[in-house]
Amino acid sequence: MNDSLKKSVMSGVKWLAISKIIIQLLRWGSTFWVIRQLNPNDYGIMAIAEIVISILVAINYLCIGNIIIRHKHISKSVMDTLFVFCLLIGLSLFLIQFIGASYFSTFYQTPEAKDVLQLLALAYLLECFNVRPLALMAKRLEFKKLAQIDLIAGILTPGSTIVAALYGLGYWSLAIGYIVHTLVRLIMSNYLCPSMLSIKWRYKRTYKLMKFGIQNSLSSAISQVGNSLDFIIGGALFSTNSIGIYQVGLQIAFIPLRKISPELKRLSFPAFCRISKDIKLVKAYYSKIIRLFSCIIFPVFWGLGFLAEEIITSVVTNKWIESAIIIQILCWALPFKLLNEISTTVLNALGRSDLILKNSITPTVILLLSIISLKSFDIQGLAFAWCVSIILSYIVLLYDIKKVLSLSKRSIFSLHIQAIISSTIMYFSLFIINLSIHFDGLYFIFINGFIGIAIYTFTTLIFNRNIIKEFKNLLIK
């Protein structure tokens, strides 16, 4: 990676990191506060509604944003045609969700989901005006502007959710937060990256670009259907209350992933697109990213799993205690989920949409079979199914990465093993310590957090001393 690109990426990391720290302090606080105010049935209703939303959002405007980012030169007429596609897709998604809301809510015997889905359908009409400005800012590596958008949305979204919850609006508070988030992004993105909107139709010139986007979108849709299978099937098997318990456990377990993954994709996709012609350079930086992130995410997720029960009881009260086991199960596999998303981002930057499609089908099939096989474990079976799907699909993906980047099995193994060893030692050391020393509540969380960091740092210095040098080089040079 040349110096100017590295400087741009590191500048982006700085701005996004600053904004994310502020946002997460607000969002985590508001998330836990809202969870305390609402009940499992409220979250169950939103979880049922999000089955439709997550699948339709996955169409992602045929990944037109990625098309704009990936191709260096796009004429104005083609750009205007892409905007027309966005309008048509946004209108289609709005109509599908608005009209289908009643049928869907009837199928899942959740009548409250109908009005929620019809309100949230408005987001598709708003979002189609965001695609071009957000993609252009990412393409130009204008991460400071993107961070400003995130910051304003990160303040107003939880603020609106809290106000709605204070007025006793229940599950509607979550829906209002969703609409506010989309509206803020619309206003801010077009303010920071204004452009003349015009309607043109140059289909023949746009077709080749759209082929890449359609394959990307199909992969995204299949992947999202796979990611929603737990709710699609679980919503029909279990009560709304049980689904709400599962939803909160899933939401808390996925907090690190959902906060890191979008920003990582936003930074890494444009950067890898720029060096995509140099496979050796892609290979070198892919290896570095996997090694560095493995060092961070394994202790974070496994530590979260260890602390899950005390976090639930201390932060969101005992009424959610059944969510703790969901967190504990999921956290064993979620590091591999983030590494999977890094790997697919690299394949996407290399234009391997065929492999992206393959690796969106694989986890979907595995998750479906796992849910069917483990449904006797009640709501916990959904979490076990996730773990099986994440780990097996990541192994399949690594086989493709190995071929595309000419990596050896030994080198792939070495990228992960040191972080796994240190995290395993940390986890079981905490388990043994807590057999003889007992803490409760926030004391348990803070003391075990401190001890866990100390043990992990010590074992990393023993087994993986070079990683410290890599972090220093990344931040200083």
Q: Which two tokens stand for residue 413?
A: 């193994």
Dihedral sign (CA 17, 21, 26, 29): positive
Which single residue is written with the structure tokens 């399949």?
396
Q: Residues 232-262: pLDDT tens digits?
A: 888 888 888 888 899 888 888 887 777 676 6
Q: Which one has a higher pLDDT value, 19 or 1?
A: 19
- CA-closest candidate to residue 193, choices 130, 131, 133: 133
What pLDDT shows up at residue 328? 94
Which single residue is written with the structure tokens 């096989």?
373
Give the CA-trace dihedral at 361, 365, 370, 375, to 10 degrees.
110
pTM recorded for the entire structure: 0.75
Q: Distance between CA atoms of 133 and 438, rounded to whole angstroms? A: 53
What pLDDT shows up at residue 293? 86
Judge whether residue 461 has pLDDT over 90.
no
Q: Distance between CA atoms of 81 and 200, rounded to whole angstroms? A: 5
> Which class for 424: exposed (0-12), middle (13-18), buried (19 or more C-beta within 10 A)?
middle
Q: Residues 381-418: pLDDT tens digits?
A: 999 999 999 999 999 999 999 998 888 888 889 888 88
Q: Residues 273-314: pLDDT tens digits?
A: 778 788 888 888 888 888 888 888 899 999 999 999 888 888
Q: Distance between CA atoms of 241 and 95, rounded to whole angstroms? A: 29
Buried-exposed string 29-41: b where 16+ CB fall within 10 A, e elsewhere: ebbbbbbeebebb
What pLDDT shows up at residue 215? 65
Q: Distance between CA atoms of 290 and 285, rounded to whole angstroms? A: 9
Q: Distance between CA atoms of 391 and 131, rounded to whole angstroms? A: 32
pLDDT band at 327; cut points 50, 70, 90 = very high
Q: Residues 80-110: pLDDT tens digits?
A: 777 888 888 888 889 999 999 998 888 888 8
Task: Kindly list the distances between the CA atom of residue 158 and the CA atoms of 33, 41, 177, 207, 258, in Å, as whole numbers in the listed order.
Answer: 10, 20, 6, 40, 16
What's the mean per-residue pLDDT of the chain? 82
